[in-house]
A and B are shown apart, each in its own frame.
Chain A
Amino acid sequence: MKLGNSSKLGLLLLMAPLLIWLFALILLPHVDMFFLSIREKVAPRVYQTSMANYMEFFNEPLYWNTFARTAVMSILTTAITLLIAFPISYYIAKMLKGRMKAFLFVLCLLPFWVSELVRTFGWMILLRETGIVSSTLQWMGVVDGPIEFLYTDATILVGLVYSSMLFMVVPLVSTLESLDDSYIEAGYDLGGNGFTVLREVVIPHAMPGIVSGCIVVFMLSLGNYLTPVLLGGKDSLWFTEQIYAQFITRFNWEQGAAFGFLLLILSSLIVWAGLKLSRQTLSETMG
């Protein structure tokens, strides 16, 4: 199509908000952050380009331990969320019909509408030393004194899995719904049992949903700040806390920018690998 001058102008006007948004708020800030991260302060107000901030990350065990720990915990969160959510999604997609199905699906979305802060607060009330779980256990006579359930790795996982559930259930339910019942029946007719049908028919079909759910859950856990800080306490050692500390507490922006970049690289690698594995593109997954 050949554009006249006036429609060219119109197109430019329509494009202006997009370009301003993407360049001023996404692209340039990240480029700027990259240049900050490769800058080293050698004297007051004197800087030179170097990889010192990245070297610092590899030389200081605390930093890369925290980084690795955050990654491992996020992988655990993703795996647990998938294991819990898969049977639930299958139940909603394949075992229920009509009203009940719609109702349970909406119920799954419910916690998403409530602020993450409120959800985490709920877990704090349940799990702290004077909390409901501890009090109930004492009342039942299972334990003698109060127990502190907060500030352990397991608590962080409970909180993260809880917050992530929705992002796994929604893609799983929608892919499982698109699986025709007759395929499952055919699997049984050909002599398969529950397990083989699950492995050969259901899971391969649900793979795109599994992958997009896992990508989102992993990314959100990696970038989470609230849950590790509130449920994990001082020793939660989450990488986002390091970034916050460098920026706000120590005012070492160069170091913080380097940390931010490392986290961004890890998160992008995982997204990229997930998309490659499932042979999907970002546009398909989102649209």
Chain B
Amino acid sequence: MISSIPQSRTFRGIYAAYVSLFFIYLVVPLVVVAVFAFNDSLFPSLPWKGFTLDWFFNDTEPRLGVFHDRGILKGVGVSLFVAFWVTVLSLFVGTCNAFLFERNSFPFKNVLYVMALLPLVIPGIILGISILVFSNSLVNGVEDLLGWELEFLRPGLVLVILGQFSFITTISTLVISARLRKFDLSLEEAALNLGASKMTAVWTITIPYLKPALVGAGIVAFLMSFENFNTTLMLVASDSPLTITMFDRLREGSTPALNAISLLLMIVSAILAFISILVQREKGVK
């Protein structure tokens, strides 16, 4: 607070109340989802019928817990698979881009840099349909010309991975570039003077320096992929990631099992968020 500025007590009181109300608004929907995961009722709504863990562990219909719900478990598996590949690919390409833009000059550098930022300002659903259209043309074109069937480029997990990768890479590029910009080049030169090859110097000096950014970008990429809906919706086939499975259930009307899986997701997200904050803090110290 800026102490020299006169503010009446009433004003301060009202301001503090407003801020508190805001945080209640922020937290209430999440708390509600979490609490109703434990309601002993077939619907996630009032009245409260007592505490139960059935929605996690029970193994029979109609009170099927998430740990026995094949649809949900399969969705989690598919999402993990997709998120893993999106993370690996976007970290790899993001790191290459960071070195390219921070260390090199080449023709059309600015144009390419702006292009690399564009995916963030294209609505996700449009990224999805454009990739859907293009892959379809590609598959049909190749089939007409060469007679090859590129089955993997039909809607399905490969396209989902590529679709999510297309915009998550922008984020990983930005995060890794920001860290690389602060790197003191003389460290790498010292390694070169000591007889290391360029590759060894980068691998043993620069990459470890980038580690906090890599971990941070990796966590963000993983979560964004795991939670992505818009782009995925347009590219998905029969293997549905968790968000799509949950969306279908939500529309049908759901049991508190959906609250249970949501609560688990919140816990995992919170842990990952915590790790990334720790990593950021470590970065701040250096």
Contact = CB atoms under 8 A, between A and B. Distances in A.
Interface string B168-203: 010000100110000000000000000000000000
Given A1-B105, A91-B15, A263 B97 contact: no
Interface stretch (B38-46, B54-62, B209-217): B38-46
A282 B229 contact: no
A226 B29 contact: no
Contact of A126 (B15, B32, B234): B32
B29 A117 contact: no
B272 A27 contact: no
Contacts of A87: 15, 18-19
B45 A132 contact: yes
Interface string B127-162: 101111111010000000000000000000000001
A97 to B, nearest CB: 8
A122 B246 CA distance: 13
Quick one: which of A118, A165, A220 has the most chain B CB within 10 A?
A118
Interface in B91-129: 92-93, 96-97, 99-100, 104-106, 112-127, 129
A77 to B, nearest CB: 14
Say what secondary structure dominates the interface of chain B: helix
Given A22-B115, A107-B26, A244-B233, A125 B36 contact: yes
Contacts of B119: 26
Interface stretch (A10-18, A51-59, A170-178): A10-18
Interface in A217-267: 219-220, 222-226, 230, 240, 243-244, 247-248, 253, 256-257, 260, 263-264, 267
Interface string A2-33: 00000000010011011001100111111011
A14 B32 contact: no
B33 A121 contact: yes
B277 interface: yes
Contact of B32 (A26, A125, A130): A125
Contacts of B5: 184-185, 188
A17 B269 contact: no
A18 B26 contact: no
A119 B259 CA distance: 11
Given A111-B30, A114-B266, A25 B112 contact: no
A14 B26 CA distance: 43
Say what secondary structure dominates the interface of chain A: helix
Q: How large is the interface on A (under 10, 10 to 19, 20 to 34, 35 or more residues)?
A: 35 or more
Interface string A189-230: 000001000000000000000000001000110111110001
B270 A113 contact: yes
Contacts of A247: 129, 132, 234
B270 A32 contact: no
B123 A113 contact: no
A286 B125 contact: no
A114 B29 CA distance: 11
B159 to A, nearest CB: 10
Interface of B: 1-2, 4-7, 15, 18-19, 22-23, 25-30, 32-33, 36, 43-47, 92-93, 96-97, 99-100, 104-106, 112-127, 129-135, 137, 162-163, 165-166, 169, 174, 177-178, 223, 226-227, 229-230, 233-234, 243, 246-247, 250-251, 258-259, 262, 265-266, 269-270, 272-273, 277
14 contacts: A1-B105, A18-B116, A21-B169, A22-B116, A29-B133, A88-B18, A108-B26, A113-B270, A117-B250, A121-B258, A135-B45, A185-B2, A256-B129, A287-B174
Interface of A: 1, 11, 14-15, 17-18, 21-22, 25-30, 32-33, 36, 84, 87-88, 91, 94-97, 104, 106-111, 113-126, 128, 130-132, 135, 162, 165, 181, 184-185, 188, 194, 215, 219-220, 222-226, 230, 240, 243-244, 247-248, 253, 256-257, 260, 263-264, 267-268, 271, 282-283, 286-287
Nearest 6 pairs between A and B by C-beta?
Answer: A223-B123, A122-B29, A29-B130, A29-B134, A115-B227, A25-B166
